[in-house]
Amino acid sequence: MRSLELFSGAGGLALGLEAAEFEPVAFIEWDRDACETLRRNRPNWNVIEGDVSKIDFSQFSEVDLVAGGPPCQPFSVGGKARGFRDRRDMFPAAVEAVRALAPAAFVFENVRGLLRPAFQNYVEFIRLQMTHPQFPVSRNLSWEQNLARLERHHTSRDRTGELTYKVSVHDADAANFGVPQRRHRVFFVGFRSDLNAEWSFPMESHSRSELVRAKDVTGEYWSEHGIPKAHRSPRPKASKIFVNEEFAEISGRLARWRTVRDAICNLGDPRKESEFSDHVFQNGARSYPGHTGSPLDEPAKALKAGDHGVPGGENMLRHPNGRVRYFTVREAARIQTFPDDWKFSGSWTEVMRQLGNAVPVQLGEAVARSVAKAIKRAKRKIKSEATIDR
């Protein structure tokens, strides 16, 4: 199956699509350093450096999946949450790609901030545009007026021959899919209506309960890492109750959440020589209220891109003794589940921006595999029914 990815960034979702065996026709990204990252690692990929909103999608044909992460600054707290008033809102460009290519399915991801109550109606506006990509949204009307028009169209009966999609919206925490990071992403997933595809968001594979058990009940987490009792993190008071009441239901079914220590334990001290050229100590990290870094024995806090590189206090490791330092590029890549052979282009600031904007590879792969299976099942069913009719 063939895929087209918009707003590709450093390749987190791209690697997920690759693992799900999608064949890419092109990757479209405006950031020069991100494009160089993609070309550096996959010289055979067709990487188009440019503005997605100015792309002529007619140059692509027979695309099964359109995917991507429209710029999230309009909906993030750090981006001042202007939403539809922000020119960086690129959802209209994503809808245009779906309209032009009529893929079997699409996957678009964004920040959790999009689900805040202030954006509830705008999310419905986005969802209805994706449901009816051929509907003519008027630039002479406000988005609220266009929403009202879309709602009337959506409930009307006269839509014969129209391109439509069955669209669902999901909030996923990457930690529940094996990513050593508490990173919530919102996914818009749609399947072309004529396929009658049967799909549900992939089941979670990892749990907090299992991590609590491994630390506080069996102690296997600490044993695996060779941590003596004197140096282990103190056990929360509610831990025993939490394990007894909640763990019993899922014991043996899910893996434990992965921690920062799980991800970076074999990289060594970045102040010393390393086999990885991007595992290098970066000076200047400091802790202040609200920005205290990620604890070593929990999943990391969500890595962030920031408006001007890495903001002070973000993207830091907090040692058990309270000291903090910035994650190295290789550590941040591991936290985003990029493979060790994936190299990044650009300055430290620009690379950390790429990583802060990326979809965790394992989360992208889980979603991509589920969508691929649903498309294949739907196509096989259609082919089978056509054979029977003959």
- Which residues are the active-site residues? 72
DSSP collapsed to 3 states, 221-261:
HHHHCCCCHHHCCCCCCCHHHHHHHHHHHCCCCCEECCCHH
Q: In what order do the strands lie in the sheet with 324-326?
A: 294-295, 316-318, 324-326
> What is the rounded CA–CA span in Å between residue 199 and residue 196?
10
Strands 316-318 and 300-301: unpaired
Q: What is the DSSP letter of 109?
A: E
Structure tokens at 215: 């630390």
Of 209, 166, 212, which Cα lies nearest the Cα of 190?
166
Residues whose CB is less than 8 angstroms from the CB of residue 156 and which lie 6 or more positions away in sequence, other chains included: none
> What is the rounded CA–CA span in Å between residue 178 and residue 257?
6
- Asked if 119 and 75 touch (Cβ cutoff 8 Å), the reply is yes
* Cβ-based burial of 8 (10 A; exposed 0-12, middle 13-18, buried ≥19): buried
- Asked if 179 and 336 touch (Cβ cutoff 8 Å), the reply is yes
Q: What are the backbone angles phi and psi of residue 172, rounded to the nearest 5°?
A: -125, 140
Structure tokens at 214: 């491994």
> What is the rounded CA–CA span in Å between residue 136 and residue 124?
16
